[in-house]
Chains A and B, each alone.
Chain A
Amino acid sequence: MSTESWKSARNAVVLIACLLAGWQALYWFAGEIAMRPPLATLRYTANLVTTDAFWPHLSETMRAFAIALAIAVAVGLLTGFWLGFHSLSRQVFEPMLVAIYSIPKITLYPVLLLAFGLGMPAKIAFGAIHGIIPVALFTINAVRNIKPILIKTGRVHRLGPLDMVRSILFPAALPEIFTGFRVGFSLTLIGTLLGEMFAAQRGLGYLLMTAIGLHNVDLIMAVTLLLIVFAAVVSTLLLAIDRRLHRRSV
């Protein structure tokens, strides 16, 4: 275990070093008009996060993202458990979910804007529609792959439906559901940010979009860096938890 974690730490360091080197090389190639080198970006970012103007944007994004993720997980789990248990519904609806999963949801953004108006609800809706379907699809699989013997054991113990879900089905399906949560997390984050880029007056996505409009390279680089670091750190953590859950369940 310790050698393994040491190895993954070394891999991470090597990867980050390579990415930074590539960034610096790209800067030398592209020049001052297109981007900033790593060091300057770090300095600007450190400056940016100390300004008062930055925090409302961050908290707005985080709030929208948190609500969208909660909706995505709740609706996704409900749909997943329902379709996982009810075979006929699954056969009818699962292909539809897969089809919806494959459409470029970005084209739907004007529809959502017209339905929800500019602002928080549209962002949340845009984030949630990205996240619901992966959570649902993974949950369906998780529920369907529960070993029948576990369900029989629950029946032998005369568990009611609620106890059944709480103490048998959910724990048994957890690793797979968590994988769905991990995928849903990434997609919801992207969805929320995209929603902000196209339709908001606040938030990191809006900040990025105005920076693009004004060609404020410092700001573009800083916001991009913050988003990448946040996404990378959280999804690495989730991946570690995911792997541990899967290892435990085998």
Chain B
Amino acid sequence: MSRITLYRVGVIAAAVLLLELLCYVRVIDRITMQPPHQIVRDLFVILASGKQNAAILKTLSNASIALSLAIVVGILAAVALHGYRTVRETLDPLFATYYAVPIFAFYPLLIVLFGLGDAPQIGIGFMLGVVAVIVNTLNGLDRVPRVLRKTARIQRLGTIETALKVALPCAAPYVLTGVKFAVAYSLIGIIGAEFIMSRGGMGYEISFAYNNFDNATMYPLILLILIVSISINATLSWWEKVLLARRGL
């Protein structure tokens, strides 16, 4: 295991060094990309100066609102849908094609409906994330063993109590898979919407910096988004593994 981790670190280090070298010999020129060490240094400068803090805060808080909404609504919808086979079968093609449709096309509609504030961006992030939560939660609920549901019935638990105490805890690893997707999707939704049309946020700052050839702002912000999303994802994956290991899977 440790040998593999070593290789992994080696591959990443080699990739970074290669980038550094390519930038150093000017195969990649400065207008295209700055060398990695410069990007990291700029990121520290930006974070220390605090001039992007408002944008970072706005994007991350919008993303977490969209994510929480997607998780809550998604789980509620899945629990509600789970019992109704006909409704599920009817909705199946919608779920299957949902992620082939560019949801960003609905952004102008949301802007007209909600105005150019935070709401339309949160709406896009929510719309992208919620279906992943629904589909994966349904998948998890399908795998709850019948004996557990029977036990719940013997204990005379109501529908809500059964869902909260038996079905959802049992489906937790699958719900977590959905949440993992929803994290990525809510960030994509928020940042993409900020790119298209907004008055602030990291996506806005990145595209503003891009339009002004301001690589000293653009690359560090991109790096920050990558770090945030990869570390959230790694944490959730680890948690998922712990949950699965606990049931011997």
A interface residues with partner B (beta carbon < 8 Å): 7-8, 11-12, 14-15, 18-19, 30, 33-35, 88, 91-93, 95-96, 98-99, 102-111, 113-115, 185-187, 189-190, 193-194, 197-198, 205, 208-209, 211-212, 215, 217, 220, 223-224, 227-228, 231-232, 234-236, 239
Question: Which residues from chain A contact B210 at a C-beta distance below 8 Å?
Answer: 110, 113-114
Contacts of B33 in A (CB 8 A): 111, 114-115
What is the CA–CA distance of A191 and B209 in the complex, to the nearest angstrom?
22
Offer 5 A-B interface pairs, CB within 8 angstroms, sorted by A: A102-B229, A107-B222, A224-B105, A232-B101, A239-B97
Q: Assess whether B97 is in contact with A190, with CB atoms less than 8 Å apart.
A: no
Q: In the complex, what residue of chain A is closest to B219 when comparing beta carbons?
A: A111
Shortest Cβ-Cβ A-B pairs, 4 listed: A186-B100, A231-B100, A34-B112, A102-B233
- CB atoms of B222 and A35 under 8 A apart: no
Across the two chains, which residue of chain A brings its CB closest to B194? A106
Work out how many contacts link A and B, with CB atoms closer than 8 A: 149
Knowing A212-B197, A231-B97, say if A11 contacts B90 (CB, 8 Å). yes
Does chain A have a CB within 8 A of B176? Answer: no
Q: Could you tell me if A224 and B230 are in contact, using CB atoms closer than 8 angstroms?
A: no
B93 contacts A12, CB within 8 Å? yes
> Is B195 in contact with A212, judged by CB distance below 8 angstroms?
no
Taking the nearest CB of chain A, how far is it from the CB of B113, in angstroms? 6
B97→A235 contact, CB < 8 A: yes
Least CB distance, B100 to chain A, in whole angstroms: 4
A190 to B101, CA, bound (A): 7
B187 CB to closest chain A CB (Å) equals: 4
**Per a CB cutoff under 8 Å, which of B4, B12, B192, B197 touches A106?**
B192
Q: Which of B8, B90, B91, B206 is A107 in contact with, Cβ under 8 Å?
A: B206
Whose C-beta in chain A lies nearest to the C-beta of B222? Answer: A107
- A187 & B32 in contact (Cβ 8 Å cutoff): no
**Please, which residue of chain A has its CB at the minimum distance from the CB of B108?**
A212
B113 touches A30 (CB 8 A): yes
Alpha-carbon separation in the docked complex, A35 to B109 (Å):
7
B239 within 8 A of A: no
Q: Are A11 and B105 in contact (CB under 8 A)?
A: no
CA distance A236 to B230 in the complex (A): 32
| Chain B 103-133 interface mask (CB, 8 Å, partner A; 1/0) | 0111111001100000000000000000000
- Measured between beta carbons, the chain A residues less than 8 angstroms from B109 are 30, 34-35, 220
The answer, yes or no, to whether B154 is at the interface (CB within 8 Å) is no
> Does B207 contact A110, Cβ atoms closer than 8 Å?
yes
With contact pairs A107-B191, A110-B206, A198-B195 given, residues A15 and B93 touching in the complex (Cβ less than 8 Å): yes
Query: In chain B, residues 117-165, which have Cβ atoms closer than 8 Å to a Cβ of chain A?
Result: none
Binding site for A on B (CB under 8 A): 4, 7-8, 11-12, 31-33, 89-94, 96-97, 99-102, 104-109, 112-113, 180, 183-184, 187-188, 191-192, 195-197, 203, 206-207, 209-210, 218-219, 222, 225-226, 229-230, 233-234, 237
Contact between chains at A96 and B8 (CB < 8 Å):
yes
The residue in chain B whose Cβ has the minimal distance to the Cβ of A187 is: B99
B105: which of A93, A106, A208, A235 is its contact (CB, 8 Å)? A208
Residues from chain B with a CB closer than 8 A to the CB of A102 are 180, 183-184, 229-230, 233
Residues on the B chain within 8 Å of A239, using CB: 93, 96-97
Q: What is the bound-complex CA distance between A205 and B196, given in angstroms?
A: 12
Q: Which of B11, B31, B101, B191 contacts A228 (CB 8 A)?
A: B101
**Bound-complex Cα distance A14 to B187 (A):** 33
Q: Is the CB of B90 within 8 A of A92?
A: no
- Is B107's CB under 8 angstroms from A212's CB? yes
Q: Return chain B residues, CB-CB under 8 Å to A193.
A: 102
Q: What residue of chain A has the Cβ atom nearest to residue B236's Cβ? A: A102
Q: A106 CB to closest chain B CB, in angstroms?
A: 5
When the two chains form their complex, are residues B218 and A110 in contact, meaning their CB atoms are under 8 A apart?
A: yes
Contacts of A186 in B (CB 8 A): 97, 99-100
Instruction: Please tell me if the beta carbons of B96 and A235 are within 8 angstroms of each other in the complex.
Output: yes
Q: Which B residues lie within 8 Å of A220 (CB)?
A: 105, 108-109
**In the docked arrangement, what's the CA distance between A235 and B31, Å?**
40
Flag if A106 contacts B97 (CB, 8 Å): no
Chain A minimum-CB-distance residue to B211: A110
Q: Which residues on the B side are within 8 Å of A19 (C-beta)?
A: 94
Instruction: Choose among A113, A185, A231 the residue with the greatest number of B CB atoms under 10 Å from its CB.
Output: A231
A115 to B8: give the CA distance in the assembly, Å.
Answer: 26
Instruction: A231 to B100: give the CA distance in the assembly, Å.
Output: 6
Bound state CA distance, A101 and B213, in angstroms?
28
Whether the pair A115, B101 counts as a contact (CB closer than 8 A) is no
Look across to chain A and name the residue whose beta carbon is closest to the beta carbon of B110. A34
Q: What residues of B have a CB within 8 angstroms of the CB of A104 in the complex?
A: 184, 187-188, 191-192, 225, 229
